[in-house]
Amino acid sequence: MSQEIKLVLQDGSIFYGKSFGAKKSIAGEVVFTTGMTGYPESMTDPSYKGQIMCLTYSMIGNYGVPSDEMKDGMHTFFESDKIQVQGLIIDDYSDEYHHWNAVTSLSGWMEKHDVPGIYGIDTRALTKKLREKGTMLGKIIYEDDVEYYDPDKDHLVEQVSVKEPVMYGGGEKKIALLDCGVKNNIIRSFVERGVSVVRVPWNYDIFNNGISFDGVFVSNGPGDPKMCEATIATLRKAIEKGIPTFGICLGNQLLALAAGADTYKLKYGHRSQNQPCKEIGTHRCFITSQNHGFAVKDDTLPEDWETWFTNINDDTNEGIKHKDKPFFSCQFHPEATPGPVDTAHLFDKFIELLK
C-alpha cells in the first residue's frame, strides 16, 4: 500500500496524496502542463530541470515507459539521458500498463532515477491555483521535511549542457549547436535531414576553437535566459558575422537578448502540446508543443527585427526574425516529442539558408 504524503506550496496550501516513484522528499518550482500524453518525453526534457511537474490529464501511467534503446548516440524514446523533473504530481496513477514498447511502469522508472511522485490529489484545484497566483515554490514531503528550492537562482543551463563537444551525423552541411539543454529530437531532426551537428557547451567559443560550421543553432533549456551571458555573446558575434542562426524556446529568448531586446518571466508559463500560434502577416495558425516560463518583450525588439509568431491565447511572443538577414527563432518546439509536428518545416527553412 502506498504511503500517505503531501504537497506543500509556498503560500501554505497543502494537498494530501499517496507516494509513487522514489520514496523521498523533494523541493522545486511547481508548474503544470496540459498535455494528454507524452510523459516520458516531457519528464526527460532538460527544460524542466528544477521543476515539480503537475500533469492535468487525469490518468497517468497506463502506457508505461519505453526502453533505454540507443541510436546514433542518443536515447530513441527519451529527450535526454535521465529524468529531469524534480518530482511528478498526478491525479490517478495506473500501475498496470500496456503499450507495444513499454518495458516498465512509470513508478518503477521514477524509482530507478530517484525521482518522487504524488498521486491522488486534485490536480484541477492545484492548476487553478497556479493560474491565479502564478507558478510557486513547493515541496513533496515523504517523511523528512526539506527547504524550499528556487531553481531560478541556480545556473540550470550549466547543469544540463554537455561538457565537451559531441559530433552527430555525416552530412556536408554542418551546424554548431549551442547546448543549453537540447532535446534529443532537435538533434535527430537535423541529422535526419542530412546535416552534421557539432554539439558544444553553452559557453563554448565556437569562433576560436578550430571547429567549422555553416550555421549556428541555439537550443531550448531551463531557467532565466539572462544568466547565459556567454551564449548571448556568441550569438551577438554570429549576428555580426552574418552567419545563419536559428533558435528554439530558450534559444528564442537568447537570440532576442543578443539582438538587444528584453525578456521577462511569465505568470505561469506555457506547457502543453496544444498551444495555438499565429504567424504574423498571414492567416496561418499552427498548433504547437511548448515548455517555457520566460518570454520575449515584443516592444523591445530593435527596428531591424520583428515579431514572427504570436500566441493566440495570451498574445505573448512566439518567435522573432530579422527583417533582412538569416536570423530567426521560435518559442515553441517544432521538433515536438511530445506533440504535433505542424512546424517541423522550420528546420528545412533554416537548412536552406546554410551555404
Catalytic residue among 249, 270, 277, 322: 249
* pLDDT, average across residues 287-308: 98
- State pTM to two decimals: 0.97
pLDDT at 90: 98
pLDDT class for 352, splitting at 50, 70, 90? very high
pLDDT at 142: 97
Catalytic member of 41, 79, 111, 335: 335
C-alpha cell at 14: 497543502
Residue 2 has pLDDT above 90, yes or no: no
Pairing of strands 92-93, 116-119: unpaired
pLDDT at res. 151? 97
Q: What is the mean pLDDT of the chain?
A: 97
Name the class of domain 4-153: alpha beta
Distance, in Å, from the CA atom of 162 to the CA atom of 46, rounded to the nearest integer, reads: 12
| Superfamily name and number for 156-353 | Class I glutamine amidotransferase (GATase) domain (3.40.50.880)
Q: Is 277 a catalytic residue?
A: no
3-state secondary structure the chain: CCCEEEEEECCCCEEEEEEEECCCCEEEEEEEECCCCCHHHHHCCHHHCCEEEEECCCEECCCCEECCCEECCEECCCCCCCCCCCEEECCEECCCCCCCCEEECHHHHHHHCCCEEEECCCHHHHHHHHHHHCCEEEEEECCCCCCCCCHHHCCHHHHHCCCCCEEECCCCEEEEEEECCCCHHHHHHHHCCCEEEEEEECCCCCCCCCCCCCEEEECCCCCCHHHCHHHHHHHHHHHHHCCCEEEECHHHHHHHHHHCCCEEEEEEEEEEEEEEEEECCCCCEEEEEEEEEEEECHHHCCCCEEEEEEECCCCCEEEEEECCCCEEEECCECCCCCCCCCCCHHHHHHHHHCC
Catalytic one of 75, 270, 322, 333: 333
Residue type, 247: G
With cell 506550496, the residue in question is: 9
How do residues 175-189 score in pLDDT, each as one tens digit?
Answer: 999 999 999 999 999
Reply yes or no on whether the pLDDT at 1 is more than 80: no
Extents of the domains making up the chain: 4-153, 156-353
Tens-digit pLDDT profile for residues 270-295:
999 999 999 999 999 999 999 999 99
Q: How many other CB atoms are there within 10 angstroms of residue 36's CB atom?
A: 16
Contact between residue 223 and residue 49 where contact means Cβ atoms under 8 Å apart: yes
Q: What pLDDT, in 10s, does the model give residues 3-34? A: 999 999 999 999 999 999 999 999 999 999 99
Question: For residue range 132-191, what is the model confidence (pLDDT) as tens digits?
Answer: 999 999 999 999 999 999 999 999 999 999 999 999 999 999 999 999 999 999 999 999
Q: How far is it, in rounded angstroms, from Cα 115 to Cα 107?
A: 9
Active site residue 333: yes
Q: In angstroms, how far is CA 109 from the centroid of its own chain?
A: 20
* pLDDT given for residue 270 in this prediction: 97
Residue 174's CB is within 10 A of a number of other CB atoms, namely 20
Q: How confident is the model at residue 355 (pLDDT cuts 50, 70, 90)?
A: confident
